[in-house]
Amino acid sequence: MSTISSASSATSVPTPAPATSANAISTAADTTAAAASARASAAQSVISGSTGNASLDVSALVTSLVNAKVAGQTGSLIAQQRNDNTKLSAIGALQAGLSALQAGIAPLSNGTALGQFTATTDGTGLTASGSSGAATGSYSVAVTQIASAQTLSSAAFGATTALGTGTMNVSVGDKSMSVDITSANNTVSGIASAINSSSSNPGVTATVVTGTDGAHLILRSSATGASNTIDVSVGTVTDDAGLSSLGVTSTAGASAADPSTIASASASASASASASASESAVSPWTQTGSAKDAMFTIDGTAGTSSRNTVTTAIQGVTLNLTAAAIGVPAGTPQTLTVAQDTTSASTAINNFVNLYNTLVTTYGQVAGFDSSKAKGAQGGPLLGNSMFNTVKSTLASIVSGGVKNGSSNISLGAIGIALNKDGTLTADSTKMANELTSNPQGVAALFNSTTGVAAKMTKSLNGFLGEGGLIANNQDPLNADLKGISTQQDTLASYSAQLTHQYQAQFTALNTVMATMNKNSQYLTQLFGGANSAGALAKGKG
């Protein structure tokens, strides 16, 4: 009987690094048992074929032998892959907790959470808001005038009348533009469109209002304040039919009802204009809205502003004035109270506590120890991991440490946040509220944007989570190992395919030989007999 040669010519099987986790041990045991079963099945198939009880089941035999050959390597790679993925998942959970904490403490880290203020008034028409550095206290505010923008209305013209050609210079305050008036745009609506579409528009809007007397060009300044008056000069006028009358000079801060606030500039038109055209020049502009500054007093100190949003009157406070703030009688004072917004500060601090506690819970999930579990599976994936230990100890040190406040230190405990034995924090809302009200400077020092608790924690978190940080440095080797495992699995699959082809050919040939031998054995038994019978020749038959 021929013998079966070994697969020494096949591609060498990759040898993965041994996996040491509980899962790896379990997988290795399972694959060892599977390999033993496969070998037993293969042996039984050979025995059955060799004794003539049945022909070889080549397909099952080859499958059993190939599986037995690669089962150990396959199981080891799967175990190693599972171990890497478990660690990556644990690092990902830790990373998510750190990222949530990083984002959640940003308002405390940059100082915005403790820089919020409330501003309330006991009257109407006046609102306010406070920002970092606001001067808290109560203020008596009296508004006598709000800021307004100038509006000018020209005399009436025919809607389609060609007013002439020339150059129109329009200015608002210290900004100006030049517009060419040609035969293509020298109607009232054409001039308005040319002003609005100019890329150098200084902040004036032109519209056309048509009344019973004709079409009026309306110019409105987009900026309030006495200094933002509108001036128009017209030059190089030809075929003048009213274009020269659109020149106007305004007086800053004058009343809209005062006819002396504006002066017609029709006399400045080009000297080349015809006499008949000059005689047909229409009436000057009318001011329908004057450019005025807001006027107010704060605790008796007078102030003005070109805008109704006043940012410089009270440190860190923005006032918003409306006409209703003037009151009846005009200048009726109302009380403005500016105070620190303890609600937003308390919310930000409690959010920090909750996020830190969530992170501590994550610690237990990824690196805890549970003695009730099976031996080898009691520790979390990151138990004993140096990266995890560094993260945990660094943040715990920041939480338990204090922040220098003058000649002393202030800690989280001083504002009602206790550090528990399990590493979590507990906030005493009553004590925190009292500290925010009675000791805002101390709370601000604890969470200052340079050396405060949140600032130091943010700096550490940025280092852990950033490119080349602890998290990435622990993820990269695992990802590289998984890539290597995938390559080894591909190589093992190729080896299995090659081995299958080789065994298929060998056992098919063996099956043919054994079938022939069994047939010959049966024939010889018929001739010469066997252990319990006499053959044809033994009986003297032909």
> Residue 440: which pLDDT band, with cuts at 50, 70 and 90?
confident
Nearest by Cα to 106 from 423, 466, 348: 348
Token reading at 103: 């984002």
Residue 196 has pLDDT above 80, yes or no: yes
Q: Regarding predicted confidence, which is higher, 69 or 393?
A: 393
Residue 106 has pLDDT above 80, yes or no: yes
Q: Is 450 exposed, middle or buried (0-12, 13-18, 19+ CB in 10 A)?
A: exposed
Query: What's the pLDDT at 538?
Result: 63
Measured between its terminal Cα atoms, the distance across the chain in Å is 30
Query: What's the pLDDT at 20?
Result: 47
158 and 129 share one domain: no
Nearest by Cα to 340 from 108, 123, 119: 119
363 and 448 share one domain: yes
> Residue 371: which pLDDT band, with cuts at 50, 70 and 90?
confident
Q: Is 352 exposed, middle or buried (0-12, 13-18, 19+ CB in 10 A)?
A: buried
Say if 432 falls within a structural domain. yes
Query: What's the pLDDT at 267?
Result: 41
Over the stretch 222-240, which tens digit does the pLDDT of each residue have? 999 999 999 999 999 999 9
Q: Regarding predicted confidence, which is higher, 98 or 524?
A: 98
Percent of the chain with pLDDT over 70: 80
Residue 17 has pLDDT above 50, yes or no: no
* pTM of structure: 0.64
Q: SS3 of 283, please?
A: coil
Last residue of a domain, one of 443, 465, 487: 465
Query: What's the pLDDT at 275?
Result: 33
Residue 407 has pLDDT above 90, yes or no: no
Say if 14 falls within a structural domain. no
285 and 310 share one domain: no
416 and 367 share one domain: yes
| CA separation for the pair 47, 65 (Å, rounded) | 15
> Residue 47: which pLDDT band, with cuts at 50, 70 and 90?
low
Say if 65 falls within a structural domain. yes
Query: What's the pLDDT at 33?
Result: 66
> Residue 94: which pLDDT band, with cuts at 50, 70 and 90?
very high
Q: SS3 of 263, please?
A: strand
Query: What's the pLDDT at 46?
Result: 59
Query: What's the pLDDT at 392?
Result: 97
Exposure on the CB side of residue 181, measured as CA atoms within 13 A: 30
Contact 214, 158 (CB under 8 A): yes
Residue 248 has pLDDT above 70, yes or no: yes
273 and 159 share one domain: yes
Residue 141 has pLDDT above 60, yes or no: yes
Residue with tokens 């890497």: 84
Nearest by Cα to 2 from 499, 511, 504, 518: 511
Residue 13 has pLDDT above 80, yes or no: no
Percent of the chain with pLDDT over 90: 62
Residue with tokens 């830190």: 356
55 and 125 share one domain: no
Residue 14 has pLDDT above 80, yes or no: no
| Percentages (nearest 5) of helix, strand, coil residues in the chain | 45, 20, 35
| CA separation for the pair 528, 536 (Å, rounded) | 6
285 and 315 share one domain: no
Say if 6 falls within a structural domain. no
251 and 321 share one domain: no
Over the stretch 278-329, which tens digit does the pLDDT of each residue have? 333 344 899 999 999 999 999 999 999 999 999 999 999 999 999 999 988 9
Contacts of 40 (CB under 8 A, 6+ apart): none
| CA separation for the pair 109, 452 (Å, rounded) | 7
Domain of residue 421, residue span: 105-112+343-465
Contact 126, 143 (CB under 8 A): yes
- Rounded mean pLDDT, 4-27: 47
DSSP string, 314-339: ETTEEEEE-GGGGTTTTT--EEEEEE
Residue 163 has pLDDT above 90, yes or no: yes
336 and 349 share one domain: no
Say if 8 falls within a structural domain. no
Question: Which helix (DSSP H) or strand (DSSP E) does residue 97 occupy?
Answer: helix 58-104
Say if 393 falls within a structural domain. yes
Sheet architecture: strand order including 151-153:
204-211, 214-221, 151-153, 286-289
Q: Regarding predicted confidence, which is higher, 28 or 30?
A: 30
224 and 317 share one domain: no
> Would you give the DSSP letter of residue 138?
E
Query: What's the pLDDT at 510?
Result: 79
The least confident of 321-330, 366-375, 455-464 is 366-375
| CA separation for the pair 148, 371 (Å, rounded) | 77
Last residue of a domain, one of 438, 465, 492: 465
> Residue 253: which pLDDT band, with cuts at 50, 70 and 90?
low
Q: SS3 of 209, please?
A: strand
Residue 351 has pLDDT above 50, yes or no: yes
Residue 19 has pLDDT above 60, yes or no: no
172 and 245 share one domain: yes
| CA separation for the pair 55, 73 (Å, rounded) | 31
Query: What's the pLDDT at 277?
Result: 34
Question: Which helix (DSSP H) or strand (DSSP E) does residue 93 occupy?
Answer: helix 58-104
With vertex at residue 313, the alpha carbon angle to CA 309 and CA 317, rounded to the nearest 5 degrees, is 70
Query: What's the pLDDT at 271?
Result: 36
187 and 306 share one domain: no
| CA separation for the pair 405, 90 (Å, rounded) | 38
Q: Regarding predicted confidence, which is higher, 517 or 50?
A: 517
Residue 84 has pLDDT above 80, yes or no: yes
Provide the mean pLDDT of the chain. 85
Say if 479 falls within a structural domain. yes
Last residue of a domain, one of 411, 438, 465: 465
Residue 511 has pLDDT above 50, yes or no: yes
Q: SS3 of 289, please?
A: strand
> Residue 5: which pLDDT band, with cuts at 50, 70 and 90?
very low
Token reading at 488: 């080894």
Say if 507 falls within a structural domain. yes
Residue 372 has pLDDT above 90, yes or no: no
Query: Phi and psi (nearest 5°) for 91?
Result: -65, -40
Taking the CA atoms of residue 268, residue 269, residue 274 and residue 276 in that order, the dihedral angle to the nearest 10 degrees is -80
Q: In 368-439, which ranges are continuous DSSP H helix?
A: 386-400, 429-438
Query: What's the pLDDT at 297?
Result: 97
Q: Regarding predicted confidence, which is higher, 538 or 184?
A: 184
Number of domains in the chain: 4
Query: What's the pLDDT at 4?
Result: 36
Query: What's the pLDDT at 9?
Result: 41
Amino acid identity, position 459: K
> Residue 408: which pLDDT band, with cuts at 50, 70 and 90?
confident
Question: Which helix (DSSP H) or strand (DSSP E) does residue 249 occupy?
Answer: strand 248-250
